[in-house]
Amino acid sequence: MTANTVLITGNTYPVKDQIKALGGRWDADAKGWRVPENKADEARALVAGGSTGTASPAKKFRHTKCVVCGVKQSFNSRGYPNVRIYRSGECQDCFEERKMGY
């Protein structure tokens, strides 16, 4: 199938199904997709366009300091938190005070 085909390489995993739909075949020796010449531009655009949601998401921001009282997150020698900071940015003590209405 190498006669009238173009080799597409790069981060193709997120768009492999679309490349298959264009008529592409995986070439294990070349470690890339063989796509018909008339579909090569579409395949390149897919790979350059990035992922379709199957790639890992960007790491989300996580607070390391309480937004209420300012205490910093800390861990003991075994890796367990001494002071836990929740996603809301509050430490465990401030969270409990707010929830209990103290």
Contacts of 20 (CB under 8 A, 6+ apart): none
The pLDDT of residue 60 is 73
Q: Where are the domains of the chain?
A: 5-49, 59-102
Cβ(43)–Cβ(21) below 8 Å: no
Compute the mean pLDDT over every residue in the chain, rounded to the nearest whole number. Answer: 86
* pTM of the predicted model over 0.85: no
**Digit-coded pLDDT (tens) for 8-34:** 998 888 899 999 999 999 999 999 999
Q: Is the pLDDT of residue 55 over 90?
A: no
The pLDDT of residue 11 is 87
